[in-house]
Amino acid sequence: MFKKILIANRGEIALRIIRTCKEMGIKTVAVYSTADAESLHVKFADEAVCIGPPASSESYLKMSNIIAAAEITNADAIHPGYGFLSENAKFSKICEEHNIKFIGASPEMIEKMGDKASAKATMKKAGVPCVPGSDGILESYEQTEKLAVEMGFPVMLKASAGGGGKGMRAVWKKEKLRDAWDSARHEARAAFANDAMYLEKLIEEPRHIEIQIVGDSRGKACHLSERDCSIQRRHQKLTEETPSPFMTDELRNEMGLAAVRAAEFIKYEGAGTIEFLVDKHRNFYFMEMNTRIQVEHPITEQVIDFDLIREQILVAAGVPISGKNYTPKLHSIECRINAEDPYNDFRPSPGKITTLHAPGGHGVRLDTHVYSGYTIPPNYDSMIAKLITTAQTRDEAISKMKRALDEFVIEGIKTTIPFHRQLMEHPDYLAGNYTTKFMESFKMEAPIED
């Protein structure tokens, strides 16, 4: 087993990883930028190394500084968390070359799944359902138009290097295809220096349902059921839940089997997520694979009583998994608390937290690195906490969430707490009747003055 793990991340996820390491008797090294000197992950780690100035490109993304920090502290593994270097093939390779275990995917796996057209081709070969469309990369506009007309509109143009919706265009008629082609390619070239595109049939009003999987070094994989992440705004998830209110036992079996087939086909090692689009008829299609731990992993941990970070560490150390698939017996919901003003188009609201009162009680979990007196730097993601409630039923998890949100006091900055409080009363949310289009029509009600 590893003796010392360096956590190449910040914020709540760095703290989350440190907690599991402590429970496993593994020493921890935090790295931090000068903007994060007062962060809890720095205080709770056994050692901490400053790796640069506030800009991510000069600190949390600076591979040479992170490797140097691992070498001077004698860390034998690096956990990258999510974001930053977690799906960077070059970093995974550099760790390998320095004999430091990267607790994540191999460089080859990251490359294969990072290119969306190649990931899709691989999944098709594995027998995982994929959205009908082009066989790989489009060679010309003429070919694209011919194929789109054959398939029938609406279609979706997607950048192969994409993700997060960049370089993606829905096209409803032939007359609009040329402009969409030009602008999507332009956007992809600017964002990824790669304008390779592929084409799919548009899935209208889909749900985003993902399956958590874990694979081990023997090539065995299992699934840990689903998370419904359909409530998103500009490709940022706001809240997630498991089980999905749209799920049936039959669909879970099929999707779980497809996810396990996918993971075993590519001999995936570690924790990963297979993202699917699910249409209104409950047809499901492979969308993307994430080769990292995800922000929303705690809801899965809550319903199956399983520490996913511990599992990642064990698998990275070569320990085989049990191989059992899971069906949740509880219901869990996560609300992402962001330093943003929901009354003002979710505009970022960094600054000093003057008062903080955290909710608690049975079935309430709060993953956060912030505290009273902490200043949120403007340099990073605006997520400051994840509030997770777990209960026997969906209705009880929602009641608990309402209660916990009401207890949660954060003063000095604006947060998304009022948004979540209103969401928990929305008739379509309460009915479990929502798709990825939900936020397009959501309107905040006026705040209650007091």
Give just the sign of the alpha carbon dihedral 40, 29, 364, 350.
positive
- Find the catalytic residue in 292, 310, 336, 347: 292
Does 206 bind ligand MV4 (CB under 6 A)? Our answer is yes
CA separation for the pair 294, 306 (Å, rounded) = 15
CA dihedral 97, 103, 108, 113 (to 10 degrees): -150
Nearer to ligand MV4, 48 or 383 (CB): 383
CA separation for the pair 49, 65 (Å, rounded) = 10
Does 208 bind ligand MV4 (CB under 6 A)? Our answer is yes
**Helix, strand, coil share (%) of the chain residues, nearest 5:** 35, 25, 40
Shortest Cβ 328–ligand MV4 spacing (Å) = 21
Does 163 bind ligand MV4 (CB under 6 A)? Our answer is yes
Does 165 bind ligand MV4 (CB under 6 A)? Our answer is yes
Could you say which residues in the range 260-289 bind ligand MV4, by CB under 6 A? 277, 287-288
293 closest CA partner among 276, 313, 323, 319: 313
Does 200 bind ligand MV4 (CB under 6 A)? Our answer is yes
Helix-then-strand count for the chain, H and E: 15, 24
Could you say which residues in the range 98-137 bind ligand MV4, by CB under 6 A? 131
CA separation for the pair 22, 15 (Å, rounded) = 11
Nearer to ligand MV4, 84 or 438 (CB): 438
Shortest Cβ 191–ligand MV4 spacing (Å) = 13
Residues 6+ apart with CB under 8 A from 443: none
Nearer to ligand MV4, 73 or 436 (CB): 436
Q: CA triplet 362, 368, 373: central angle to 5 degrees?
A: 115
Does 436 bind ligand MV4 (CB under 6 A)? Our answer is yes
Contact 187, 109 (CB under 8 A): no
Could you say which residues in the range 12-71 bind ligand MV4, by CB under 6 A? none
Binding part of the chain for ligand MV4, among 105-113, 194-202, 240-248, 374-382 by CB under 6 A, reads 194-202
Could you say which residues in the range 286-315 bind ligand MV4, by CB under 6 A? 287-288
HSE (side-chain half, CA atoms, 13 Å) at 100: 28
Residue with tokens 């079935």: 363
Binding mask 227-256 for ligand MV4 (x = CB under 6 A): -----x--x---------------------
Binding part of the chain for ligand MV4, among 14-22, 74-82, 201-209, 322-330 by CB under 6 A, reads 201-209
CA separation for the pair 358, 375 (Å, rounded) = 17
Shortest Cβ 277–ligand MV4 spacing (Å) = 6
CA separation for the pair 280, 269 (Å, rounded) = 32
Residue from the set 89, 105, 138, 156 that interacts with ligand MV4 by CB under 6 A: 156
Shortest Cβ 239–ligand MV4 spacing (Å) = 13
Helix axes 11-23, 308-316, angle to 10 degrees: 70
Shortest Cβ 398–ligand MV4 spacing (Å) = 22
CA dihedral 179, 285, 328, 13 (to 10 degrees): -40
Shortest Cβ 173–ligand MV4 spacing (Å) = 16
Shortest Cβ 285–ligand MV4 spacing (Å) = 7
Nearer to ligand MV4, 190 or 319 (CB): 190
Nearer to ligand MV4, 66 or 211 (CB): 211
Q: Is 292 a catalytic residue?
A: yes
Please report, as ranges, the residues that interact with ligand MV4 according to CB under 6 A: 131, 156, 163, 165, 168, 200-203, 206, 208, 232, 235, 277, 287-288, 436
Q: Which residues are catalytic?
A: 292
